[in-house]
Structure 1
Amino acid sequence: MSTIAQILPDGRIGEGIQNYSSNWDRKNLSKDGNVDGRVENYADVINGYYDGATELYEYGWAQSFHFCRFYKGEAFATALARHEHYLAAQMSLRPGMRVLDVGCGIGGPARQVARFADVQVVGVNNNAFQLGRAARYTQEAGLEKNVSFVKADFMKLSEQFGENSFDAVYAIEATVHAPTWEGVYGEICKVLKAGGTFGVYEWAMTDAWDPSLPSHKELAHKIEIGSGIPEMRPLRKAREALLSVGFTIEHEEDLAERPDTVPWYYPLEGNLSDAQTVWDLVTVWRNTWSGRITTHYGLWAAEKLGLVPKGTWDVGETMKIAAEALVEGGKRKLFTPMYLVICRKPQAN
């Protein structure tokens, strides 16, 4: 069957969803013989994952697909927005700037940043299904004059936009999907104007992670398979990559190391007593045993009835693997979803 015949009306590629989990050996996650294949075919891996996972993310995480810090008593949605506003503030975004959102998802952060900093945001995404939803939600919010979206490969940004095109660039838990950090950071540096700022929340294994240990390696693979990531890498590699492509780092910090009373991974633990507000009980419930069973069988039935594409249930099962691994990685300080770096492209000579 041709690739065209596999494209669904909403832009999703059915074959990609069905074949997604075949990129990993789920029976032996302590070893990995296919990392080169995933890295080489990163676009297919990412699209297969998000074609199946996007609606599940919206079900459990609303429109901003990222983690954040929490204050005691702070509502889930409020914390997510604060995390986005914090990045914009750290980058010193100013009204009228043209800003690129690399890996924009369905546009939740782009809409928040546009409102908060009064900037023009262009969101880049290579997933047609997500872009369609991003455009619809942006129109519903009345922000179509401030936020736009472009289908593009973030490894080819300069080819799409030209060099020196943006006043600032940010990425929220997205560039981990790139085949190499040097490649995506290099493209970001090219499209950024001289003196412009790049801000990123990066997913990384911490420097305490040791890939020679089978338990550490397995933890990374569990995060990969359940999150659509070709290869998890240590935090130091992100730092090295930023410097190697020419950025000057002005501030860096692993926000997961902050001594927060409420851990960043609490919504994944499924303890109802940890919900910070009454409204967040539903969010936490989805990760309790009863919530997972409901999702498990509900999604299975939806797939059988043709309400979601084939393969969606299997993608959902891999997401449960990741949820458990993310909590474990957070507790053991082996993984962070919020390595914050603010860096600048040097002024031209």
Structure 2
Amino acid sequence: MSKQSALDLATGLGGKIAKDDVISAVDKYEKYHGYYGGEEEERKANYGDMVNKYYDLVTSFYEYGWGESFHFAPRIKGESLKESIKRHEHFLALQLGLKPGQKVLDVGCGIGGPLREIAQFSLTSVTGVNNNEYQISRGKVLNRVAGVDQACDFVKADFMKMTFPDNHFDAVYAIEATCHAPDVVGCYKEIYRVLKPGQCFAAYEWCMTDSFDPNNQEHQKIKAEIELGNGLPDIRLTGQCLDAVKKAGFEVVWAKDLAADSHVPWYLPLDKSHFSLSSFRLTAVGRLITKNMVKALEYVGLAPKGSQRVQDFLEKAAEGLVEGAKKDIFTPMYFFVAQKPVSVDQ
């Protein structure tokens, strides 16, 4: 995991957005969301702009606090956050049955933490597709540092309309990424198109569970906080997610909410009642230090105006994630493996 300094955090804030434009980007991003009165249809219609703004604004915060892999993982007692994240990625590679030399696609790859880990673990070539220019540029730097330039690369593209030919990849995976899709059936159909017949697609999805009550105002507030803090147009139910996989043409091999089997709560790093030296930056004290540091950096002009507000909505997201987990209405790791039929009528 990378360990960015405060200066790295400051210089990366805002991504590719001009520093003077960060505060207006924050304004526009916030207005997309229900927490500030925005509408779901507007978020879906403008998902490309919304998600790009989101990742330009938050990527440095993510890397500073979380490392190179922007996802959660179930944990075993005595296991560190870093170890659990690696095991989570290895588990996915094993479920896909990856073999040396295969061509693999990572849909919504972030800065490529999982991509690098899975390529090295399975001896495969992994291409990451991402529509955010800043994350790709950051990922290329990290690929060079890790010495995986030959096995790993990035393609800038919208995962709703990818530039790859049909039947191109031996395996496809997505880790907490396709939740950004405005039309999940359309997204899965595009993944289906680029995957070779007989091969598998596996994903960890963010979903509301069957315990979520759309008529419960507290549940709706938690859902809105998660959407705001994570750049999501709408969070689907687990059943809706699985239906979409089938509608796209896949045959579901198996599916399960892996959060249910976590010995240590997956949300523990975000829980303010928890303290850990190994993930200190995520603790209540660590987050307070980061908040004050960002405030100081913004005050002296090293961080762009609006940086504090980004940290604020990320804090709101953390609260929503913890509450959603404790009430058993949200999971970040609804996992499925689905196969493209061997015989496909195009």
The two structures share one fold, judged by TM-score above 0.5: yes
The structural deviation recorded for 1:229 is: 0.8
Given that 2:80 and 2:278 are in contact with CA atoms closer than 8 Å, whether structure 1 keeps it comes out as no
Equivalent residue for 1:328? 323
Given that 2:258 and 2:335 are in contact with CA atoms closer than 8 Å, whether structure 1 keeps it comes out as yes
Equivalent residue for 1:287? 283
Mark the CA change 1:309 to 1:128 in structure 2 (over 3 Å): closer, same or farther.
farther
Q: For 1:55-74, list aligned pairs within 5 A.
A: 55-74=60-79
Given that 1:18 and 1:310 are in contact with CA atoms closer than 8 Å, whether structure 2 keeps it comes out as no
Question: Out of 127, 142, 149, which is 1:144 matched to?
Answer: 149
Instruction: Give percent identity, aligned residues only.
Output: 44
Counterpart-to-counterpart distance in 2, 1:282 and 1:117: 27
Letter matched to residue 44 of structure 1: D
Question: Out of 229, 251, 255, which is 2:232 matched to?
Answer: 229
Letter matched to residue 286 of structure 2: G
What secondary structure, in the 3-state scheme, does the structure 2 residue paired with 1:161 have?
A: coil
Counterpart-to-counterpart distance in 2, 1:255 and 1:299: 35
Question: Out of 27, 31, 34, which is 1:22 matched to?
Answer: 31
Given that 2:238 and 2:334 are in contact with CA atoms closer than 8 Å, whether structure 1 keeps it comes out as yes
Q: For 1:331-346, list aligned pairs within 5 A.
A: 331-346=326-341
The structural deviation recorded for 1:231 is: 1.1
Matched, 1:202 2:211: no
The structural deviation recorded for 1:311 is: 2.6
Mark the CA change 1:22 to 1:84 in structure 2 (over 3 Å): closer, same or farther.
same
The structural deviation recorded for 1:284 is: 4.0
Matched, 1:116 2:116: no
Matched, 1:347 2:342: yes
Counterpart-to-counterpart distance in 2, 1:334 and 1:42: 24
Q: For 1:100-115, list aligned pairs within 5 A.
A: 100-115=105-120
Equivalent residue for 1:188? 191
Mark the CA change 1:299 to 1:329 in structure 2 (over 3 Å): closer, same or farther.
same
Q: CA RMSD in A?
A: 1.8
Counterpart-to-counterpart distance in 2, 1:146 and 1:152: 19
Matched, 1:244 2:244: no
Equivalent residue for 2:310? 315
Question: Out of 288, 294, 299, which is 1:299 matched to?
Answer: 294
Letter matched to residue 313 of structure 2: T
The structural deviation recorded for 1:282 is: 4.8
The structural deviation recorded for 1:285 is: 5.1
Equivalent residue for 2:6? none
Could you list the runs of 5+ residues in structure 1 that have no partner in the other structure? Answer: 1-7, 276-280
Mark the CA change 1:187 to 1:211 in structure 2 (over 3 Å): closer, same or farther.
same
Letter matched to residue 19 of structure 1: K
The structural deviation recorded for 1:10 is: 5.7
Given that 1:16 and 1:47 are in contact with CA atoms closer than 8 Å, whether structure 2 keeps it comes out as no
TM-score norm. by structure 1 comes to 0.90
Q: For 1:91-102, list aligned pairs within 5 A.
A: 91-102=96-107
Matched, 1:126 2:105: no
Question: Out of 63, 79, 88, which is 1:83 matched to?
Answer: 88
Counterpart-to-counterpart distance in 2, 1:52 and 1:9: 4
Mark the CA change 1:239 to 1:10 in structure 2 (over 3 Å): closer, same or farther.
closer
Counterpart-to-counterpart distance in 2, 1:292 and 1:33: 27
TM-score norm. by structure 2 comes to 0.90
Q: What do the CA deviations read for 1:115-141 (whole angstroms, capped 9, x no partner)? A: 011100000111111111100000110
